[in-house]
Amino acid sequence: MSRKMLVIGEARDGALRNVTFEAIAAAAKVSDGGEIVGVLCGAENLEEMGQEMIYHGADRVVTIQNEKLNTYTSDGFGQAVMAVIEEEKPEGIIMGHTAIGKDITPKLASKLETGLISDAVEIEETGDNIVFTRPIYSGKAFEKKIITDGLMFATIRPNNIKALDRDDSRSGSVSAKEVDIADLRTVIQDIIRKTSDGVDLSEANIIVAGGRGVKSAEGFKPLEELADVLGAALGASRGACDAEYCDYSLQIGQTGKVVTPDLYIACGISGAIQHLAGMSNSKVIVAINKDPEANIFNVADYGIVGDLFDVVPKLTEQIKEIKV
């Protein structure tokens, strides 16, 4: 049965986040040939980003440009997206399971009086059903869910569903919609960024993470050098954040970010259950730890028992040589 799907796009610093393209791919799986309509809210650059959504598989994109959508608020974006939902009447909605996705989708689902499958890592068609797989108990188990009736509303975890190849021969309309946005109850005065310009942790393909074993803020330097040659993002355990070796924005785990990169290199991290909750679904895990009994080795695909201050610089040098 074909379904008309709505994909809520997400941008940062004037460019679409990759998870938007993954959400289009997820919608394509679910739509069974039905129309895929993108929606983009913001204050600038929407036409160009809408075109990118078309190149990545959307059939049509509706943009809502408004000064009140300059920065994300659930109030403003909620009103804008609701207006598109009411007009388009999709049979399904997909968005990334990002900070914004986690904030806005439950509110929309509640307004629409429908359910929501959040944080899907896999979507497959089995017989007449679309089956969504999502982690439970902090990633220790997975559950499979189907929607038997009504709107197929889901968020997808970044880095799990492969985006479709970009095809700039695809065509489709990008149309602007006027939405009268009522006065916002929340006004963003200023955004103070804690992270640097580096690769976004939640969408990174490679992560080099440090734990209390790095011993100081200075101890992160060799990890930063390794991350640089690999084009990786830097992450950390809560142990390292608590010890003030790095900012909490780098924390991975149960109370930090949940990541699923292709490669996760854990340096001086013991592998506490709360840390594993945020990274154990990474595709390949490399652990560097001087304690052969460290729990991290139980989830690692490759383990190096050694001092990270010896191992990491050697790794960086080797990778530099391979890359030359």
For the CB of residue 227, give the shortest distance to ligand FAD in the complex, in Å: 17
For the CB of residue 19, give the shortest distance to ligand FAD in the complex, in Å: 21
For the CB of residue 178, give the shortest distance to ligand FAD in the complex, in Å: 43
Nearest to 202 by CA among 143, 150, 261: 261
Among 239, 246, 250, 282, binds ligand FAD (CB under 6 A): 239
Does 238 help bind ligand FAD (rule: CB under 6 A)?
yes
Give the nearer residue to ligand FAD in terms of CB position, either 2 or 216: 216
Tokens of 245: 């070796």
Nearest to 47 by CA among 81, 11, 88, 18: 11
For the CB of residue 279, give the shortest distance to ligand FAD in the complex, in Å: 9
3-state helix, strand, coil in the chain (%, to 5): 35, 25, 40
For the CB of residue 118, give the shortest distance to ligand FAD in the complex, in Å: 19
Site residues for ligand FAD, window 280-309 (CB under 6 A)? 288-291, 294, 307-309
How many whole angstroms separate alpha carbon 101 and alpha carbon 310?
Answer: 41
296, 279 contact by CB (below 8 A)? no
Site residues for ligand FAD, window 180-219 (CB under 6 A)? 211-213
Give the nearer residue to ligand FAD in terms of CB position, either 25 or 236: 236
Q: Give Cα separations from 153 to 5, 44, 91, 93 (angstroms).
A: 9, 27, 8, 5
Give the nearer residue to ligand FAD in terms of CB position, either 122 or 247: 247
- Taking residues 243 to 282 in sequence order and writing x for each that binds ligand FAD by CB under 6 A, - otherwise, the string is --------x-xxxx-----------xxx-x-xx--x----
286, 266 contact by CB (below 8 A)? yes
Phi, psi of 84 (to 5 degrees): -70, -40
How many whole angstroms separate alpha carbon 249 and alpha carbon 235?
Answer: 8
Q: Give Cα separations from 22 to 25, 60, 99, 141, 166 (angstroms).
A: 5, 16, 16, 23, 11
For the CB of residue 186, give the shortest distance to ligand FAD in the complex, in Å: 27
Give the nearer residue to ligand FAD in terms of CB position, either 111 or 302: 302
- Taking residues 42 to 81 in sequence order and writing x for each that binds ligand FAD by CB under 6 A, - otherwise, the string is ----------------------------------------
Does 83 help bind ligand FAD (rule: CB under 6 A)?
no
Q: Give Cα separations from 112 to 17, 41, 93, 289 (angstroms).
A: 26, 19, 11, 49
For the CB of residue 136, give the shortest distance to ligand FAD in the complex, in Å: 17
Give the nearer residue to ligand FAD in terms of CB position, either 46 or 277: 277
Give the nearer residue to ligand FAD in terms of CB position, either 74 or 138: 138
For the CB of residue 46, give the shortest distance to ligand FAD in the complex, in Å: 35
- The stretch among 12-20, 103-111, 163-171, 238-246 that binds ligand FAD (CB under 6 A) is 238-246
Q: Give Cα separations from 281 to 11, 98, 138, 186, 255 (angstroms).
A: 25, 17, 10, 36, 16
SS3 117: strand
Tokens of 52: 């990118």
Q: Which residues sit at the interface with ligand FAD, rule CB under 6 A?
A: 211-213, 237-240, 251, 253-256, 268-270, 272, 274-275, 278, 288-291, 294, 307-309
